[in-house]
Structure 1
Amino acid sequence: MSGTLGDLGEFGLIGALTERVPVGPHVPLGPGDDAAVVAAPDGRVVATTDLLVEGRHFRRDWSTAYDVGRKAAAQNLADVAAMGARPTALLIGLVGPAELPVAWALELYDGLRDECAVVDAGVAGGDVVRGSAIMISITALGDLEGRPPVTRSGARPGDVVAVAGWLGWSAAGLAILSHGHRNPRAFVEAHRRPEPPYAAGPAAAKLGATAMLDVSDGLISDLGHLARASGVRVELSGELFDIPAQMRDVGRALGADPLQWVLTGGEDHALVATFPAGTPLTARWRVVGRVTEGRGVTVDGEEWSGTGGWDHFG
């Protein structure tokens, strides 16, 4: 579709976007009324929200609108999975200038649609507003399916710390793009379009995970939240992290330590969880440390001396 948001108008844009995304099986009443209705068989709803701002979370010269849509959905759906829940629906808010091409907004919604399809979720509704910059607000909903939520506060001394998904790939991709390069593509694509291990969240809950969270701001930073909430120390072992040879090569080429990317890089949206010792973990989970008495997070017995992760106001 050609033209701009200003050419199409608010209600024309809403109609075009709504046609782009199915509501999914968990939304008995979708867009068209003052509010949507989302099924909640468990009787409880897991809810999370996020905001993406152009220039802060994405750049149009680095990522397509489709990439931004996939990423926006992924980071919210991963938060639902990190509670041990199954994602069911998204609510989308889009702010954009009148001169933004309609094609960009439609491509964004294609990305949202396709990421939702990975977990059989839908888009229940949203809003559009004119503004000077592009901003995307996502609210994700989920169903606990009768299980208690897995929070950050349940880790206990003696638990093991395990990770599902990739760590450091998005940070490596960001470093590559920041240096004006586009290869190796695997890392660049991981930054543009993360692939969270959604199924690992509910599976961890069924295995008896004591605490869990999505790695969005960096493993050190996010585990710091878990350690504080649980009143424990998290001890990581550097040798237990799987750093691909190609990531090491990129680190040498850019003069960077790939372990820094693994420990502090955000936006891979891996899951990190604690489990009682002896839990029969599946192959998707890699043990990287343990929980002990104390406070904070250590790496190989030492307090981490580098940066700890992302802080919007730091």
Structure 2
Amino acid sequence: MSIARTGEFGLIERVVARLGTGPATIIGPGDDAAVVIASDGRVVASTDVLVEGRHFRRDWAEAEDIGRRAAAANLADIAAMGATATALLVGLCAPPDLDVAWAEQLSDGLATEAALVGASVVGGDMTASPTLTIAVTALGDLHGLPPVLRSGAQVGDVVALAGRVGFAAAGYTVLSRGFRTPKILVEAYRRPVVPYALGPAAGRAGATSMIDVSDGLIADLGHIAHASKVGVNLHRSAFKVPEQMRDAALALGVDPYQWLLAGGDDHALAATFPADVPLPEGWQVIGEVIEGSTVTLDNRPWYGPKGWDHFRA
């Protein structure tokens, strides 16, 4: 059944029936707006847009996978501020002939990923469009802590990473070459595994800056370097190439470090910490903050790809 047959409000009823309610939700879908708890009077907010053909392909991933990816892109941004996500707002622009079941499965993915942090989908909007587009806004709570910005890194800080990098980029390359294995890489592209809890943990531990690695580690650390007016030096030895990634790189003729250092969509977290601060469990030192303005690898320029840019790719 297409959504042209159910209509906008019929589809909304079907979707809302599949969504749970998070602990921060006072009023969820059904009114003109939702009401969400903001415990300390501040709300952290982030928005991402996914466009079919640009950010996802329906022949590469199921609707639920795409929903989880759409949610993860926003939930990771909230975690990178040292906050915990509380709610999602979703805008869906869809062709009228889109199957209702696909839209329902998309909502399942959004709800499942949000539930990982105790959040829920509290509202949104739908409209017809020739291009399938998903826009998600996430709201979050700092629980009384200061936000962790990109601009706080200091010379002498250590640079640390939580989560994995390179897996989603490797999966994208595998899919783009027409393959479906190794499964661990393909699944990483379809459904990122995000260390959400380690963002607030870093904030509580005294992280001086933090960012969601969505466009590539070198590119995103470059944002910290620019905002903080510092340089960042990474240690190549800190990045071990997993066996499946090494084998795929060999078969496809790709340098795996291009995936590790410039690949996006894993939504790992990168942060800087004072050198004398014990890192929270799950964080690994990968470099240090230095004088300068660029990101280097073993104190040398990185001449490979820097990462994703929506208007230059």
Q: Same fold (TM over 0.5)?
A: yes
Task: Please state if 1:29 is matched with 2:24.
Answer: no
253-262 vs 274-283, which moves further: 274-283
Q: CA deviation at 1:23?
A: 2.7
Aligned mates of 1:279, 1:265 — CA distance in 2: 29
- Structure 1 residue corresponding to 2:213, chosen from 204, 209, 215: 215
Aligned mates of 2:169, 2:127 — CA distance in 1: 31
Match of 2:267 in 1: 269
Match of 1:90 in 2: 88
- Structure 1 residue corresponding to 2:114, chosen from 108, 113, 116: 116
Aligned mates of 1:242, 1:21 — CA distance in 2: 39
49-58 vs 26-35, which moves further: 26-35
Match of 2:228 in 1: 230
After superposition, what is the alpha-carbon deviation per residue over 1:251-294, rounded to whole angstroms, capped at 9, x for unaligned?
A: 11110011110000000000000000022113411111000111
Aligned mates of 1:258, 1:285 — CA distance in 2: 22
After superposition, what is the alpha-carbon deviation per residue over 1:92-126, rounded to whole angstroms, capped at 9, x for unaligned?
A: 00010110000000000000111011111011100
Aligned mates of 2:191, 2:243 — CA distance in 1: 21
Aligned mates of 2:149, 2:281 — CA distance in 1: 23
Q: CA deviation at 1:242?
A: 2.4
Structure 1 residues without counterparts, runs of 5 or longer? none
Match of 2:242 in 1: 244
Aligned mates of 2:289, 2:52 — CA distance in 1: 38
Q: CA deviation at 1:78?
A: 0.4
Contact 2:159 2:272 in 1 (8 A): yes
Match of 2:13 in 1: 15
176-185 vs 276-285, which moves further: 276-285
Q: CA deviation at 1:42?
A: 1.3
Aligned mates of 1:264, 1:74 — CA distance in 2: 19
281-290 vs 94-103, which moves further: 281-290
Percent identity among equivalent residues?
Answer: 60
Match of 1:132 in 2: 130
Matching residue's letter, 1:176: V
Aligned mates of 1:294, 1:166 — CA distance in 2: 27
Matching residue's letter, 2:212: D
After superposition, what is the alpha-carbon deviation per residue over 1:145-167, rounded to whole angstroms, capped at 9, x for unaligned?
A: 00000000000000000000010
1:283-298 matched pairs, under 5 angstroms? 283-298=281-296
Q: CA deviation at 1:198?
A: 0.1
Match of 1:155 in 2: 153
Aligned mates of 1:21, 1:38 — CA distance in 2: 16
- Structure 2 residue corresponding to 1:310, chosen from 292, 308, 311: 308
15-24 vs 266-275, which moves further: 15-24
Aligned mates of 2:78, 2:280 — CA distance in 1: 21
Structure 2 residues without counterparts, runs of 5 or longer? none
Matching residue's letter, 2:221: L
CA RMSD, aligned part only? 0.7
Give the 4+ runs in structure 1 shifted more than 3 A. none
Aligned mates of 1:31, 1:283 — CA distance in 2: 37
Q: In structure 1, the residue corresponding to 2:33 is in which secondary structure?
A: coil
Contact 2:205 2:280 in 1 (8 A): no
Matching residue's letter, 1:188: V
Q: In structure 2, the residue corresponding to 1:9 is in which secondary structure?
A: helix
Aligned mates of 1:158, 1:56 — CA distance in 2: 39
Aligned mates of 1:285, 1:11 — CA distance in 2: 45
Match of 1:45 in 2: 43
Aligned mates of 1:11, 1:112 — CA distance in 2: 19
Match of 2:105 in 1: 107
